[in-house]
Amino acid sequence: MDKKQGNDIALKIAAIYLIIGALWILMSDKVLNFLVQDRSTVTLLSMVKGWIYVLISGVLIYVLISHSLRRVAKAENELLISNGILTEANRKLEDSYHQLAVSQAELEKQYQQALIDQKHIRENEERYRLISEATNDAIWKEIDGKRDFSERWFQITGHTKADLEQMDSWEELIHPEDIEDARELVHCHINSRTPFYQCEYRLKKQDGQYMWIRARGKASFNDDGKILQMAGSHTDITALKEYEHKLHYFAYNDQLTGLKNRLSLFEILNSRLNLNSKQNSALLYIDMDNFKYINDTMGHRFGDMLILKISERINSLKIDHSTLFRIGGDEFVILIEKFNTRDEIEKAAIKVLRLFKSNFDVEGIMIYAAVSIGVSIFPEHGIDTNSLLKSADIAVHKAKEAGKNRIVFYNEPMHKAINDRMEIEKQLRKAIENNEFILFYQPQIEVATGRVSGFEALLRWQSPEMGFVLPDRFIEIAEETHLIIPIGELVLRDACLFLNSLDEMGFKDLSISVNISMIQLLQDDFVDMVFENIDAAQLSPKQLELEITESILMESYEVIAGKLKLLRNRGVKIALDDFGKGYSSLNYLRELPITTLKIDKSFIDTIMGKTRDKSFTDLIIRIGRSMDLCVIAEGVETQEQMDYLVKHKCNKIQGYLYSRPIPEEEALKLISKSVIKMVKEN
Ligand code: C2E
Ligand code: CA
Ligand code: CA
């Protein structure tokens, strides 16, 4: 009920009350006067009637007011309830509003982020486009298994987009041998095992040829770790691979024959011996006999061609589980893996030897070549690469010593020889410090006059541990360890001083011959060192003769020839020692400033043998003399040899027939006697 309705009802009640009241007042008195005539009764009744009116009005007012109040209370109550509901609704409304505000902010944020992302995507796309265009690499990206390549990719592979569409997958282009690795590496990266993906594989180009590709890539993931996309590059590394391949080839192969080389042998052996230490392996160390001679007489080019023919011939031999290596100039190794008996190895070695029965045709020249073979077996003869190769090397040396063109298996006594060598090396170092070396002198006699013209100084070692040691046992070791450099200088010094003491005693015009090793000759200061010692002993350079061997000459011809000329120019004599023992090249005699030819003992020994050999010694003497060289015969032991040499006009002799190498004091006595004898004879 609104306010106006309330007022209306109140007015109506008041009007009714006024009307009823007015009627009551007007009518009731008239009715009373009509019904009752008695005045006092009328007055009484009027008073009663007044009180009744007041009573009824009071009751009426009470009923009305109480009714109204109840309604007001009820309305108030309802109002309170409604108000509660309203408050609750209002709170809910406020909550909703709040939530709405939060969502809106979030939405706003997301919208902003989306804007940034979009910008980034645009930038990335731009960058991707720029990179694709600028880089030499091909760029790719893969989303949902679909791969897109940049223009550059099509350029380098020669494929077209249409080509790719016809394929089930671009991966068909990867070389079948590489595909597994390529996939595996992608897998590793996707499973976060690698920070990025990288792989090298061959990819088929449009022309059917394979190119080498270096593929790199990186995947991006969503928050759940699911892959979104992957992108990367393809670099053409074909040239790099070829270069790498070539480098590897040069490092591990011999350029002349194309065979695997020493480095390769070491790597293969190292890996095999470690991995399969239970498996038998054998090395056939094949060393050509007399190759230096061939090289020297026929020239290096010819030598190379022969090596090539030999390598081809050995390679044509099919030995099971074997690999052929060229590990040095004229040295080959066959590695045989897996075999049952030593017999099998021996048979294989015999097959190799037999290959050399027929001559080799090198540019129309038929040449005979032979080899010596040393064999070592794993594990008996060495448990690592070095020792196994060393054993085979020792065995091949033994084969040479035994007369070449044969097979020798390594054995323990050879090992003992190695130990001896090691002991000698150890003792040699001490020997220099402790002055354990002395010189013996062997006289050289002029055949025509019988006069002692000089001595050859020969080194002796008086070792407290090993006793009296002959040079044959230690010179080679001293050379290998370069100890020959200080030792050789000692020899030269003492020999010169010895000659000086003879000189001072009045034995004039004698000469001293000193043996020189290649290692010494190769020293930069060698020539200076020689002159220093000559000067220190106040000798004339022509009193000194340096004995060198052919093996020395063969190796560093140029360097050595230069030094010999310097020495010769100032008067020092040069003797070619052991002539005929090795592979004498007459070229040396012609080209080098040689003054003396020493015919090796092995030739002198043949003087008692067949006529053919004898005449050969004679030939050497004639050649030497024809070249104005002084010819000395070494190791003359018999009168028969002496007679032969006198007859063929050999200049000098040296040998046990006249004297063994003797210590200084004895040499002094000998020269005194010889001079006295000469004086008497004259
Ligand atoms: P070589 O220079 O050929 O010396 C000659 C060798 O033959 C000497 O052996 C000598 O004792 C020996 N000999 C001499 N006459 C006869 C003979 O009638 N019959 C026999 N059976 N042998 C004879 P040695 O002294 O043992 O020297 C051996 C080799 O050691 C020398 O051969 C030489 O190459 C080397 N050598 C010796 N001393 C030195 C040195 O001071 N320096 C260098 N680098 N090598 C040296
Ligand atoms: Ca000599
Ligand atoms: Ca000699």
Residue minimizing CA distance to atom 7 of ligand 1: 635
Instruction: Specify the ligand 1 atom closest to the Cα of 600.
Output: 3
Residue minimizing CA distance to atom 23 of ligand 1: 635
Residue 433's pLDDT band, with cuts at 50, 70 and 90, is: very high
619 Cα to the center of ligand 1, angstroms: 24
56 Cα to the center of ligand 2, angstroms: 175
φ and ψ of 507, to 5 deg: -85, 90
Residue minimizing CA distance to atom 19 of ligand 1: 635
573 Cα to the center of ligand 1, angstroms: 19
Residues 272, 376: Cα–Cα separation, whole Å: 15
The three-point CA angle 180-184-188 to 5° equals 175
Pocket test for ligand 1, best of 441, 515, 597 (most atoms within 8 A of CB): 515
Q: What is the mean pLDDT of the chain?
A: 88
Q: Are strands 407-409 and 652-654 parallel, antiparallel or unpaired?
A: unpaired
Q: Are 572 and 540 in contact (CB under 8 A)?
A: no
**Alpha-carbon Rg of the chain, whole angstroms?**
61
**Listed residue (529, 533, 552, 543) closest to 572, CA to CA:** 543
Tokens at 137, concatenated: 């690499």
- Find residue 444's DSSP bridge partners: 454
Which range has the top average pLDDT, 22-26, 554-558, 560-564?
Answer: 560-564
CA 566 centroid distance within chain: 45
Please say if the pLDDT value at position 652 is more than 90: yes
**What region does 506 belong to: left with phi over 0, alpha with psi -120 to 50, or beta?**
left
Give the pLDDT confidence score for residue 647 in this predicted structure.
Answer: 94
Residues 203, 374: Cα–Cα separation, whole Å: 47
pLDDT in tens, 470-521: 999 999 899 988 999 999 999 999 999 999 999 999 999 999 999 999 889 9
Q: pTM for the complete prediction?
A: 0.52
pLDDT in tens, 1-18: 666 777 887 788 788 878
Instruction: Specify the ligand 1 atom closest to the Cα of 514.
Output: 41
pLDDT in tens, 510-554: 999 999 998 899 899 999 999 999 999 999 999 999 999 876 556
Tokens at 183, concatenated: 């996939």
Instruction: Specify the ligand 1 atom closest to the Cα of 440.
Output: 25
Residues 57, 65: Cα–Cα separation, whole Å: 12
**Listed residue (152, 389, 177) closest to 265, CA to CA:** 389
CB-CB neighbours of 7 under 10 Å: 10
**Listed residue (376, 372, 375, 374) closest to 404, CA to CA:** 372
**Listed residue (215, 214, 217) closest to 238, CA to CA:** 214
Give the pLDDT confidence score for residue 288 in this predicted structure.
Answer: 94
63-69-73-74 Cα dihedral, nearest 10 degrees: 40
290 Cα to the center of ligand 1, angstroms: 23
Which ranges of 514-574 does DSSP label H, i.e. alpha helix?
518-521, 526-536, 550-555, 557-569
pLDDT in tens, 666-676: 999 999 998 88
Residues 529, 522: Cα–Cα separation, whole Å: 12
Buried b (16+ CB within 10 A) or exposed e, 129-139: eeebeeeebbb
pLDDT in tens, 601-650: 988 988 876 665 566 788 889 989 999 999 999 999 999 999 999 999 99
Residue minimizing CA distance to atom 25 of ligand 1: 458
Mean pLDDT value across residues 299-307:
93
Residues 602, 522: Cα–Cα separation, whole Å: 28
Which range has the top average pLDDT, 371-385, 450-464, 552-566?
Answer: 450-464
Residues 6+ apart with CB under 8 A from 71: none
Give the pLDDT confidence score for residue 276 in this predicted structure.
Answer: 58
Residue minimizing CA distance to atom 10 of ligand 1: 661
